[in-house]
């Protein structure tokens, strides 16, 4: 509320405003400028020097890996290929001439017309000319590769985000290749590069709203539930196999008893039901023991950590039902085996 009063000297008294104190959050904001760009970008340069003869793509154009982007004027490189080809042919002709001299020199040496030193000179000339042919072939391959460098291809799939050359512009290949194009691999993955003052960087924190916290808790709960379900499934499988083995051993040890019951009029269905009931009883008893141990452990953990513990009756019923189902599933095979015994062979069993 506002209150205004007059002082004794007639001047106006200061105005005061009162308000209820409330608890709130103090937000600290850090402002910075930066650049937005793709996470993965490739700079496309050139390994050949010359004028740009043609450009086949433009800014914001989609390209595929291996697509032709531009072409450098190939005339100089083509002439270099032709010159290297001529050098190779010259070297091959010189080699043929040297080999002919070697053949004649060998005949003259066999006829004792020339000395061994002269023959060695002819042979050395042949080796030199063969090396010259090899060097000329390498020079020709280098010239052809330089000619291929005049075609600029896209190294990856992506989008042209920069084009730094125009037709007619001269580019020079050196230790630092000039950038002709900049290709972004995927514009759906972007990043911001900002420059933040050192005094403000410590105030930056990752903030999460209630929705993000709830989503994180839900995701963690689902993961833990899936993990517990996997552990429970393995436990049920191991327990069921144990029940089946115990029942099979029981059938083997009580074969004579089964024969006596069948001889006294028990039907195969009666034997089947007997061992099924025994299997279900073992499984349910194990489930009840597991429930007791789980409830005691949860209660103890709740008291230590201060967490509320709730055990709904539906969970108990479901656990007992699963135990009975495991007993039926894994006890069916031993029970069927006992019911299928021949009474006479069972009575003879020792």
Range 235-238, long-range pairs (CB < 8 A, 24+ positions)? 236/322, 236/326
Domains and CATH numbers, the chain: 34-194 (2.40.50.100), 242-301+311-348 (no CATH)
Please report where in the chains the tokens 């697509």 appear, as a residue: 67
Any idea what DSSP says for residue 254? T
77-105 pLDDT, tens digit each: 899 999 999 999 999 999 899 888 888 88
Rounded to an integer, what distance in angstroms lies between the CA atom of residue 289 and that of residue 98?
100
User: Residues 101, 114: contact at Cβ < 8 Å?
Assistant: no
Q: For residues 1-29, b (16+ Cβ closer than 10 Å) or e, as one string?
A: eeeeeeeeeeeeeeeeeeeeeeeeeeeee
User: Residues 44, 181: contact at Cβ < 8 Å?
Assistant: yes
Predicted pLDDT at 350: 67
132-154 pLDDT, tens digit each: 999 999 999 999 998 998 999 99
User: Would the pTM of this model clear 0.75, i.e. be above it?
Assistant: no
- Strand 62-63 to 158-163 pairing: antiparallel
Helix spans in the chain (H) = 75-110, 116-148, 198-201, 210-253, 255-263, 268-305, 313-339, 343-348
Predicted pLDDT at 210: 62
Predicted pLDDT at 39: 83
Predicted pLDDT at 207: 52
Rounded to an integer, what distance in angstroms lies between the CA atom of residue 86 and that of residue 64?
38
Q: Which pLDDT tens digits describe the chain residue by residue (350 residues)?
A: 444 455 566 667 677 788 888 877 777 777 778 888 888 888 888 888 888 999 999 888 889 999 999 999 989 889 999 999 999 999 999 989 988 888 888 888 888 888 888 888 888 888 999 999 999 999 999 999 989 989 999 999 999 888 888 888 888 877 666 788 888 888 888 888 888 777 777 666 655 556 667 777 888 888 988 888 888 888 888 888 988 888 888 888 888 888 888 888 888 888 888 888 988 888 889 888 888 888 888 888 888 877 777 778 887 888 888 888 888 888 888 888 888 888 788 777 76
Q: Which residues pair with 182 in a beta bridge?
A: 43, 162
Q: Is 317 buried (19+), middle (13-18) or exposed (0-12) by CB count in 10 A? A: exposed
Any idea what DSSP says for residue 6? B
User: Residues 136, 88: contact at Cβ < 8 Å?
Assistant: yes
End-to-end CA distance of the chain: 104
Predicted pLDDT at 1: 41
Predicted pLDDT at 2: 44
C-alpha triplet 43, 78, 84: angle, nearest 5° = 115
277-308 pLDDT, tens digit each: 988 888 889 888 888 888 888 888 888 877 77
Predicted pLDDT at 3: 43
254-266 pLDDT, tens digit each: 888 888 888 888 8
Q: Half-sphere exposure of 119 toward its Cβ, with a 13 Å CA cutoff?
A: 14
């Amino acid at each position: 509320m506002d209150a205004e009063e007059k002082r004794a000297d007639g001047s106006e008294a200061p105005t005061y405003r009162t308000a209820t104190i409330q608890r709130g959050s103090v937000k600290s904001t850090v402002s910075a400028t930066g650049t937005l760009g793709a996470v993965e970008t490739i700079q496309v340069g050139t390994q050949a020097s010359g004028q740009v003869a043609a450009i086949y793509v433009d800014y914001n154009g989609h390209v595929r890996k291996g697509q032709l982007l531009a072409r450098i004027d190939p005339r100089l490189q083509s002439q270099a290929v032709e010159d290297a080809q001529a050098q190779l042919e010259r070297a091959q002709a010189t080699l043929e001439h040297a080999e002919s001299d070697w053949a004649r020199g060998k005949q003259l040496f066999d006829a004792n017309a020339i000395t061994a030193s002269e023959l060695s000179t002819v042979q050395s000339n042949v080796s030199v000319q063969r090396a010259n042919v090899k060097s000329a072939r390498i020079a020709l391959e280098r010239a052809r590769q330089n000619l291929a460098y005049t075609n600029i291809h896209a190294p990856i799939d992506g989008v042209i985000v920069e084009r730094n050359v125009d037709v007619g512009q001269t580019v020079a290949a050196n230790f630092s290749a000039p950038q002709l194009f900049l290709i972004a691999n995927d514009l759906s993955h972007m990043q911001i590069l900002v420059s933040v003052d050192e005094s403000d960087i410590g105030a930056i924190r990752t903030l999460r709203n209630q929705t993000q916290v709830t989503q994180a808790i839900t995701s963690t709960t689902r993961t833990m539930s899936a993990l517990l379900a996997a552990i429970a499934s393995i436990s049920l499988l191991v327990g069921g196999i144990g029940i089946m083995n115990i029942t099979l051993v029981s059938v083997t040890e009580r074969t004579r008893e089964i024969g006596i019951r069948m001889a006294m009029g028990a039907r195969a269905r009666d034997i089947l039901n007997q061992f099924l009931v025994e299997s279900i009883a073992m499984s349910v008893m194990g489930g009840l023991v597991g429930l007791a141990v789980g409830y005691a452990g949860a209660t103890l953990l709740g008291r230590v950590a201060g967490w509320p513990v709730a055990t709904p009756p539906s969970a108990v019923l479901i656990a007992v039902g699963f135990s009975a189902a495991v007993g039926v599933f894994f006890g069916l095979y031993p029970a069927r085996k006992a019911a299928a015994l021949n009474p006479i062979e069972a009575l003879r069993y020792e």
